[in-house]
Amino acid sequence: MKFRTGALLATLVLVTGCRKEDDLGSEEVSTMVDHAYTENLITPLFPLAQAMGIGPGRWSPDSALFCLGLDSLEGDTTAFPANGPVTLHLRFSDGGCTDAAGRGRSGPFVLRYDSLESDGRARLIAFSTPGLQCAGFELQCGASVNSLGDGRVRVQVDSSAIWRQGAWSRRYRGHLDHELISGSIDAVANDDVYAVAVDVIGQDRYGTAYTATTNTALEVTTGCRWVRGGVLAFVQSDERDRTLDHGSGCDARADLIVSDTRFGLIIP
């Protein structure tokens, strides 16, 4: 089965199911397709920001490792945090640079810090991407960052993503709770693994509203360009059971399940 998302051709492969393939229209899976694309843009951002190890003595990321350069800086880094927050205006390389996960991006990435972590790094309190371009999309995302204790961090996001060739957009907002389960925050670009619990609401390209929550925590790593595992459950007005299953391993494949029918999705 094939269908178009704006100018985007998304290929869904029928795997199993009791119903005929043509009984399922594109609108029945569009919420999961659009969510999967947006999720793959947003979930790497907090792990990436943490991996850079920003703080006293390091107020600019390693451009070779992270494909990011410092455009400008607001605040007093010499006396940080005594004299208030520091905001970094970073920019991804416009081309020819891929990060440790093999992902290429372009555009701005703004990070704000207000205090120190116990290990001496600056504490990230907010970030935004006012026009980040990646995998054929433009992402506008704002997020606040708060500690939940016990090593968990809540990233509260409000975002929209636009498919540049098709001019369609959709919104995604809610919280992503991160817990570092492997690696350490040490400016090494590719060894951090996070378990991410999701509770968000969104709209797809048709304006269909949905909620997505975690069945099994997503596995997000700084060394893989896709979500490496985890299962999300979706609820929308028709009350059909919907599940997005990222499987296991670093690859572009995810499974979409609607009632008793399963499709394979390739995520850009």
Residues 113-151: pLDDT tens digits?
999 998 889 999 999 999 898 888 888 999 999 999 988
| Mean pLDDT on 217-230 | 94
> Between β-strands 122-134 and 107-116, what pairing exists: parallel, antiparallel or unpaired?
antiparallel
Q: What is the pLDDT of residue 22?
A: 34
In the chain, pLDDT over 90 holds for what percent of residues? 57
For residue 210, the tally of other CB atoms under 10 A from its CB is: 21
For residue 161, the tally of other CB atoms under 10 A from its CB is: 24
Whether 109 has a pLDDT exceeding 90, the answer reads yes
**Where do we find the tokens 């947006």?**
38
Query: Phi/psi of residue 234, each to 5°?
Result: -115, 140
The string of pLDDT tens digits covering residues 5-26 is 333 334 454 443 333 333 345 6
Do the Cβ atoms of 89 and 103 come closer than 8 Å?
no
Query: Phi/psi of residue 34, each to 5°?
Result: -65, -40
Beta pairing partners, 132: 139
Q: What is the pLDDT of residue 201?
A: 94
The string of pLDDT tens digits covering residues 175-206 is 999 999 987 766 556 678 999 999 999 988 88
Do the Cβ atoms of 136 and 163 come closer than 8 Å?
yes
Classified as helix, coil or strand, 41 is: helix
Cα separation, 246 vs 256, in Å, equals: 9
**Where do we find the tokens 């006396």?**
79
Q: What is the pLDDT of residue 26?
A: 65
Could you tell me the two tokens for 4? 């178009």
Could you tell me the two tokens for 184? 């350490």
Q: What is the pLDDT of residue 187?
A: 55
Instruction: Encode 225-257: b = buried (16+ Cβ within 10 Å), e = exposed.
Output: bbbbbbbbbbbbeeeeebbbbbeeeeeeebbbb
| pTM for this model (two decimals) | 0.87
Beta strands in the chain, from DSSP E residues, in sequence order: 2-5, 8-16, 68-74, 86-92, 107-116, 122-134, 137-149, 152-163, 168-182, 193-203, 209-221, 229-235, 242-248, 253-258, 261-266
Beta pairing partners, 171: 160
Q: What is the pLDDT of residue 103?
A: 84
Query: Phi/psi of residue 242, each to 5°?
Result: -135, 135
